[in-house]
């Protein structure tokens, strides 16, 4: 196997740190960067050994680092669903603008391969069918139903509960959160960049990633632990 030089963004994060280890174990050279955002790492986090404290929105820094890079593995992002609309600027700045800056820097340095961390949230609530087997777009859940413990998606025409179905990769994209909207934007920027430059992009739509070193203060860790415990 040919060894590659990989620029890894978000290298200090949960997923990024595992990717870094896997790449190095496979014999690749990793150039690791992370902005170490307080929202993800805490206010007083130390930059890990081997990781450079750099924000992907710094285009000059990205151009310097990208010289001689074969592949970019873009894991950096503001994560979570977004508490309210005031979070929109953070998602747009770090996720969407940051990705656009990185793609522009890749064009400048003739780096033509990217692996992009996307998410299953681009599909919205997923795929649902009525009792006849027809695909149905569920209505938004009502606050009163959630408060009373009713979580089923219902048919907007009949009010009957819908059954979930497997989501195909080519399912329509229907983002329903700020984070999801940003992930769709990242994919669209990357696709447009690949068409304009002939570059290659692989978008990985992660779904409830779980494992060693996962932060304990996120909703994902709670739900994953409950699912795992139910198997015992």
Q: Are residues 112 and 148 in the same domain?
A: no
Which pTM value belongs to this model?
A: 0.87
Ranges in the chain, pLDDT < 70: 1, 81-83, 215-225, 232
Q: Are residues 45 and 108 in the same domain?
A: yes
For residue 152, give its domain range. Answer: 127-166
CATH of the domain at 102: 3.40.50.720
Q: Are residues 78 and 132 in the same domain?
A: no
Q: Are residues 156 and 73 in the same domain?
A: no
pLDDT digits (tens, 9 = 90+) for 22-58: 999 999 999 999 998 877 777 788 888 999 999 999 9
How high is the pLDDT of residue 37?
86
Q: Are residues 40 and 87 in the same domain?
A: yes
Q: What is the count of structural domains for the chain? A: 2
How high is the pLDDT of residue 86?
83
Q: Are residues 15 and 58 in the same domain?
A: yes
Give ∠ CA 207-186-195 in degrees, rounded to 5: 120
Q: Are residues 96 and 158 in the same domain?
A: no
């Amino acid at each position: 196997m040919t060894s590659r030089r990989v620029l890894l963004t978000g290298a200090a994060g949960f997923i990024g740190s595992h990717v870094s280890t896997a790449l190095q174990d496979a014999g690749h050279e990793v150039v690791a960067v992370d902005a170490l955002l307080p929202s993800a790492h805490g206010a007083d986090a130390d930059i890990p050994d081997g990781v450079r404290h750099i924000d992907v929105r710094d285009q000059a820094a990205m151009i310097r680092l990208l010289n001689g890079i074969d592949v970019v593995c873009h894991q950096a992002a503001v994560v979570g669903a977004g508490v309210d609309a005031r979070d929109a600027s953070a998602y747009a700045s770090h996720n969407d603008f940051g990705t656009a800056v990185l793609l522009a820097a890749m064009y400048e340095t003739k780096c033509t391969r990217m692996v992009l961390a996307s998410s299953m949230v681009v599909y919205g609530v997923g795929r649902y069918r009525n009792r006849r087997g027809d695909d149905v777009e569920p209505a938004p859940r009502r606050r009163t139903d959630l408060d009373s413990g009713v979580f089923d998606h219902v048919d907007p025409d009949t009010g009957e509960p819908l059954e979930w179905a497997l989501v195909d990769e080519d399912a329509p994209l229907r983002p329903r959160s700020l984070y999801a909207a940003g992930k769709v934007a990242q994919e669209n920027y990357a696709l447009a960049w690949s068409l304009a430059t002939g570059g290659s992009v692989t978008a990985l739509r992660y779904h409830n990633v779980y494992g060693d070193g996962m932060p304990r203060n996120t909703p994902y860790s709670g739900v994953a632990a409950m699912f795992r415990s139910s198997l015992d």
